[in-house]
Amino acid sequence: MMLTKKQNLMETIKGGNPDRFVNQYEFMDIILEVPVRLMCAPGTEMKNDWGITFRWPEGQLGQFPVHDEEHKVLKDITEWRKYVKAPVIDNTDEAWAAAVAHANSIDRNEQFVTAFVAPGVFEMCHHLMSMEDALMALYEEPEAMHELIDYLTDAELNYAKILIDRLHPDALFHHDDWGSQKSSFISPAMFEEFYLPAYKKIYGFYKANGVKLIVHHSDSYAANLVPYMIEMGIDIWQGVMTTNNTPELIKKYGGQISFMGDIDSGVVDFPEWTPEIVDREVERACKNCGKLYFIPNLTQGLNFSSFPGVYDSATEAIDKMSKEMF
């Protein structure tokens, strides 16, 4: 008998005997029907609950925070208390009805009921004040940055309490991009000082409240941060790009953390995509990374592709590789 999606995932990340590749996001049923505004629609603009303005221009692949003087929320880090106000989360039964209904409809033996959080603490800092300001403030106003990060962490914990209370999630899928394609945005030492403590608190809280699986999204280079990922309790790093040398990471850290990705979205997911390109990339990823501590997946941070058909094509290609390799 075939393992369930959940069992197969556990075998894969515990170094046991999976009977096939975990196929992309199949093990998570992600609950997005929460009363928090996450995204604006293509071609529109929105102000989120923190006052951050996002624009998704027509024809673009995603939304961008707007940081001209008029729209920047946090204009002076030393006065963050004046500018940054955590929103009050609507915690009524009515507001959570759709999310709860979704959670209740999931077979918890088959899949992980997965809570979704984005953006994380690092992204929140640069969404509030722009990347340049957020990075320079780590040097220029470290105390104020520590205070701001603590405040953002508390806000995340407040939301976590509600998520746990309402959905009793088995897994958390949490976004926070920590790097570019080639390097982490900040040095490991700075990451350890500023962001590791925040995430130890956040992920520790979920783990202490019934969440068995922490999946963190960062579609970037972040190989130099993996020891901190392990320390903060991440079970699966989703979005690992090929620039990280995923097979080497698996060799080095497999058993402590697993890696999900190694199929760079930019390489397969574009208007002129073909199933042949997808097959080639999936085969390379599966053969190089192997059966344990690895989940073949597009690096994109949710279970779809920007161009129709690419995600499903990858799913098919992974099934093919399962038949060939298992």
Residues of this chain that bind other proteins (CB under 8 A): 57, 59-61, 64, 131-132, 135-136, 138-140, 180-187, 190, 266-267, 269-271, 306
Nearer Cβ to other proteins (44/180): 180
Taking the complex as a whole, the smallest distance from the CB of residue 225 to other proteins amounts, in Å, to 11
Nearer Cβ to other proteins (41/271): 271
Nearer Cβ to other proteins (265/297): 265
- In angstroms, the CA 70 to CA 53 distance is 10
Taking the complex as a whole, the smallest distance from the CB of residue 281 to other proteins amounts, in Å, to 13
- In angstroms, the CA 16 to CA 14 distance is 6
Q: Token digits for 51?
A: 């006052």
Q: What angle do CA 120, 302, 321 make, to 5 degrees?
A: 130
Please, which residues have CB within 8 angstroms of residue 205's CB and are 6 or more apart in sequence? 157, 160
Do 144 and 77 form a contact (C-beta atoms < 8 A)?
yes
Separate counts of helices (H) and strands (E) for the chain: 13, 10
Taking the complex as a whole, the smallest distance from the CB of residue 41 to other proteins amounts, in Å, to 16
Q: Token digits for 255?
A: 């058993």
Nearer Cβ to other proteins (48/184): 184
Nearer Cβ to other proteins (122/173): 122
Taking the complex as a whole, the smallest distance from the CB of residue 1 to other proteins amounts, in Å, to 41
SS3 label, residue 197: helix
Q: Token digits for 282?
A: 């999936």
Nearer Cβ to other proteins (12/299): 299
SS3 label, residue 237: strand
Give the distance, in angstroms, between the CA of residue 110 and the centroid of all CA atoms in the same chain.
22
Do 78 and 141 form a contact (C-beta atoms < 8 A)?
yes
Do 257 and 218 form a contact (C-beta atoms < 8 A)?
no
Q: Which residue has the tokens 């945005």?
A: 185
Taking the complex as a whole, the smallest distance from the CB of residue 202 to other proteins amounts, in Å, to 23
177 Ramachandran zone, left/alpha/beta (phi>0; psi -120 to 50): beta
Taking the complex as a whole, the smallest distance from the CB of residue 64 to other proteins amounts, in Å, to 5
Q: Token digits for 269?
A: 């997911």
Do 111 and 5 form a contact (C-beta atoms < 8 A)?
yes
Taking the complex as a whole, the smallest distance from the CB of residue 185 to other proteins amounts, in Å, to 5
Nearer Cβ to other proteins (266/309): 266
Nearer Cβ to other proteins (132/165): 132
Q: Which residue has the tokens 């199929």?
A: 263
Taking the complex as a whole, the smallest distance from the CB of residue 264 to other proteins amounts, in Å, to 9
Nearer Cβ to other proteins (16/42): 42
Taking the complex as a whole, the smallest distance from the CB of residue 153 to other proteins amounts, in Å, to 20
Burial class (CB in 10 A: 0-12, 13-18, 19+), 241: buried
